[in-house]
Amino acid sequence: MPRTLTYILAAFAFLFCPRPGLTAEATLYPYLEVAGVYNDNVRQQTGGNGRGDFIATQLLGATLETDAPAKHFTLNYSTLASQYVSDSSLDRTFQDHYVGATYYQRITPTLTLTSSESLLVGDAISSSMISGAQVPITPQLMQTLIFRSSSINSAFNTSLSYVTPRSWTINGQIQQMLFNSSSGSSFGQGTMLSADHPVTEEVKVGGQYNFTDFRFTSDYLPVESHWPQARLSISPSDQIEVLLRLGPIVFYSFGGSTPLVTRQSGWNINPGGLLTAQYAGENLRISLNGGQQPGLSDGLSGAALNRTTTLSLQRTLTRRLLAYLNVGFLDISSSGSDSQLLMYTIGTTYRYERNWYLTAQYQCSRNLYSGTSAATAGVPPNQQTVSNLLLVGVLWTPDPRRWRWQ
């Protein structure tokens, strides 16, 4: 997993060396947030809220953006220190981290390369605070929050896209995902191939195929997923994009015997589909995603059906005031295990002076476990864990640093 990020940075260092006579530019945006937090269920107890606590947090981070002709690289990093007033045993000093990296290069007028890495390290409460408004609620983030102990969650993909005007758009992708915790680990890697053809200026139709090979700790047997899909893409304007993907999810489970599992090989078919809709206006941005797709279980027992719904809404109220709403629902369903998480965050950011911002947010999460997932989490099955978090802070963003070279 750290090796993946190393590969991205190595590629960045190599590919961003511009040819003689061409200019590249790098910009660093650092930030520091100091906040007071109240959480009414710091030990994540079930059947109602447990003991609450006040928490002092210091969030350090930076964004590095680098541009060269036909190339762009972005690296985001943040880490968190937290001190609990009553539960000092829960203190964490820069043990939680978020890393996000993206790379884009236009190789030819019709061929582009993109790569991305997203890494979350930490426990559920710290991960929710370190992400805050900086990271939209995604299936990856929700999977980290649903597993209450410390975990490592990584998602990497790289793709090549071929586009010809008013003709085919072809995309090939390689992807990896990892979930690792004290109870075990799950790993998935696979490929994706898609092709779209325009029917009108606003509508495209096509097909897609996803293959993923899921591997786990030695106690669990591997599983493969095959997912053929039909695609419908609608873009009535530059501000609106809608993508619908539908097709059967086919799992193939390998047979064998381990100390925990004895299983015969076999096939399993389930319905699958995803809807993605985005609106990007001048003062309003909305992103909606939902559906059922193959994915990792909650770090315990292999592949699963992931049913997800995410909503992100960002509204500029005035030149100084920004409001946002993030909602996420995740249902991880696998044999003998089921976990659910509902999470929503409401917040505002007010620009007080040039480099100073006031932030406030309320966050609520609700977990529900059953089967083996409840036993691993150490909670009674079918009892809900509810956690409410209130944060008020000050954000300092120094003037960016810029470098140019040839």
Mean pLDDT on 177-194? 84
CB 371 within 8 A of CB 301: no
The pLDDT, as a whole number, for residue 314 is 93
The predicted pLDDT at position 122 comes to 84
What is the pLDDT confidence band of residue 1, given thresholds at 50, 70 and 90? Answer: very low
- pLDDT score, position 374: 65
Q: Are the CB atoms for 364 and 388 separated by under 8 Å?
A: yes
CB contact at 8 A, 119 and 7: no
Please report the domains of the chain, with CATH numbers, ordered by start residue: 2-18+30-405 (2.40.160)
Token pair 């609700």 is found at 366
What pLDDT, on a 0 to 100 scale, did the predictor assign at position 2? 46
Higher pLDDT, 55 or 43: 55
Alpha-carbon distance of 256 to 2, in angstroms, equals 31
* pLDDT score of 271: 96
Average pLDDT over residues 230-248: 96
Compare 197 and 13 and report the one with higher pLDDT.
197
Confidence of residue 24 (pLDDT cuts 50, 70, 90): confident
Q: What angle do CA 188, 189, 195 make, to 5 degrees?
A: 125
- Count of CA atoms in the C-beta half-sphere (13 A) of 255: 4
User: Comparing 53 with 133, which gets the higher pLDDT?
Assistant: 53
* Integer Cα distance of 234 and 245 in angstroms: 12
Report the C-alpha gap between 89 and 101 in whole angstroms: 33
pLDDT-derived band at 400 (thresholds 50, 70, 90) equals: very high
Tokens of 7: 């590969």
pTM for the model stands at: 0.86
Secondary structure (DSSP) of 11-78: HHHHHT-PPTT--EEEEEEEEEEEEEEEES-TT--BSS----EEEEEEEEEEEEEEEETTEEEEEEEE
* Residue bearing the bigger pLDDT, 75 or 165: 75
> Which string of b and e fits 274-288 if b means at least 16 CB within 10 Å?
bebbbeeeeeebbbb
pLDDT exceeds cutoff 80 at 217: no
> Cα separations (Å) of 221 from 214, 257, 374?
9, 8, 21
Residue 139 in tokens: 């299936």
CA separation (Å) from 51 to 40, 202, 238, 388?
A: 6, 54, 49, 11
- Maximum separation of any 2 CA atoms in the chain, in Å: 66
Alpha-carbon distance 152 to 291, whole Å?
Answer: 25
Which residue intervals of 282-393 are DSSP H helices?
Answer: 372-377
48, amino acid identity: G
Q: At 40, list the tokens.
A: 């009414």
Q: 362: which residues sit within 8 A by CB, 6+ positions away?
A: 345, 346, 347, 388, 389, 390, 391
**Rounded average pLDDT over 373-378:** 62
| Percent above pLDDT 70 for the chain | 84
Predicted confidence band of residue 152 (pLDDT cuts 50, 70, 90): confident
Mean local confidence (pLDDT), 204-229: 89
- Which residue would you say has higher pLDDT here, 359 or 1? 359
Paired with 393 in beta bridges are 35, 359
C-alpha span between 327 and 288 (Å, rounded): 10
**Residue whose pair of structure tokens reads 């390290």 in the numeric block:** 121
Among 158-172, 227-241, 263-277, the range with the most confident prediction by mean pLDDT is 227-241
